[in-house]
Chain A
Amino acid sequence: KNEVEQSPQNLTAQEGEFITINCSYSVGISALHWLQQHPGGGIVSLFMLSSGKKKHGRLIATINIQEKHSSLHITASHPRDSAVYICAVHSNYQLIWGAGTKLIIKP
């Protein structure tokens, strides 16, 4: 069983829909990252959080330390949000990566 699991693996939605991507982990962590990788390869850090909730524009990330679970939400989704979203956790000074969620937003 992977220590960091993301769901769903693939998600296709219509423009404007509210999107939720989940990340569950089985290890103790000091922080959790959400990153975005667009087609063409570049990786951008979206959030780093260790508790509570963070918001940036239409993106919201939450984490529940007790339940070992984090969610990334996208409000009013747009085709430019189409990308792979990756969750990674800091545990014992190592980064453990999720496999990513491929999101496609159709116009």
Chain B
Amino acid sequence: EAQVTQNPRYLITVTGKKLTVTCSQNMNHEYMSWYRQDPGLGLRQIYYSMNVEVTDKGDVPEGYKVSRKEKRNFPLILESPSPNQTSLYFCASSVTNTGELFFGEGSRLTVL
């Protein structure tokens, strides 16, 4: 089954404790991206990747890092999480950056 898998789905952590949200797709898509969704603000892009070893900042990259060492994986890294990073995070992939988007189920992160 074609899918985008995110883990963890839910996480409560404390300020400063490094964490990684994994994202994996099994559709051989070149394009992958991360979004955060906050009430009243809609979806905002954090980082995106056009292909392996190619990553770029989106609209709200501060406090986040990503890597794309393999085509299928695009982890989101919070080196030192802060409460303002409490949000619902989505990973998405598509064949190219202008193709149909496939979303993961979302990861709800709370930073205390």
Seen from chain A, the residues whose Cβ lies within 8 Å of a Cβ on chain B are 30-31, 33, 35, 41-45, 48, 86, 88, 90, 93, 95, 97-100
Contact = CB atoms under 8 A, between A and B. Distances in A.
Contacts of A31: 98
B101 interface: yes
Interface of B: 42-45, 88, 90, 92, 97-103, 105-106, 108
A99 B42 CA distance: 5
B98 A35 contact: no
A44 B43 contact: no
Contacts of B97: 90, 93
Interface of A is mostly: strand
A41 B42 contact: no
B105 A42 contact: yes
Q: Most chain-A CB neighbours within 10 Å: which of B88, B105, B108?
A: B105
B101 A45 contact: yes
A45 B98 CA distance: 13
A41 B98 contact: no
A93 B103 CA distance: 18
Given A30-B98, A44-B103, 19 more contacts: A31-B98, A35-B101, A35-B103, A41-B88, A41-B105, A41-B106, A41-B108, A42-B103, A42-B105, A42-B106, A43-B103, A45-B100, A45-B101, A45-B102, A88-B43, A90-B97, A97-B43, A98-B42, A100-B42
